[in-house]
């Protein structure tokens, strides 16, 4: 999927930010904010994931995916993200995953599909 400009990551560290993760809205489909933390003492490539308000930290992009996303963000590439696994605010939040892409790609992925359109052969 990275060749198509789509990046998916399970987050790491929700247990360290349990109260914030519970307070934020990380329900699937909800927008989230990716915030670079180049001064993070544990990982200079760190990308934090906050809810849409930017107020509540869920956790961090995992180390297998963070380098690519950090380079894109640092280069000025516009990246937007949504939660694809998580919970609404007020609910325990033990696992969050995000999908990130350019605004155009994300808009396409989230756009309505025509009713009755034939399914691709691999889905039949």
pLDDT at 14: 84
Mean per-residue pLDDT over the chain, rounded? 91
Residue 6: pLDDT band (50, 70, 90) is very high
d(CA 79, CA 51): 15
Q: 90 is written with which tokens?
A: 């007020």
**pLDDT digits 0-9 by tens, 53-96:** 999 999 999 999 999 999 999 999 999 999 999 999 988 888 99
| 76 phi-psi bin (left φ>0, alpha ψ -120 to 50, beta other) | left
pLDDT at 124: 61
- Which of 3, 12, 4 shows the shortest CA–CA distance to 98? 12
Give me the CATH topology for the region 2-109.
Alpha-Beta Plaits (3.30.70)
Rounded to two decimals, the pTM is 0.87
Task: Provide the CB-side half-sphere exposure for 84 (13 A, CA).
Answer: 16
């Amino acid at each position: 999927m990275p060749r198509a400009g789509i990046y998916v990551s399970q987050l790491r560290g929700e247990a360290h930010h349990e109260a914030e993760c519970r307070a934020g809205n990380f329900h699937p489909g909800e927008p989230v904010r990716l915030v670079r933390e180049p001064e993070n003492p544990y990982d200079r490539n760190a990308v934090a994931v906050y809810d849409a308000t930017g107020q509540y930290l869920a956790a961090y992009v995992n180390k297998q995916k963070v380098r690519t996303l950090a380079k894109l963000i640092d280069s000025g590439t516009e990246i937007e993200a949504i939660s694809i696994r998580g919970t609404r605010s007020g609910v325990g939040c033990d696992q969050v995953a995000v999908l990130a892409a350019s605004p155009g790609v994300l808009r396409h992925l989230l756009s309505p599909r025509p009713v009755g359109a034939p399914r691709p052969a691999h889905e039949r």
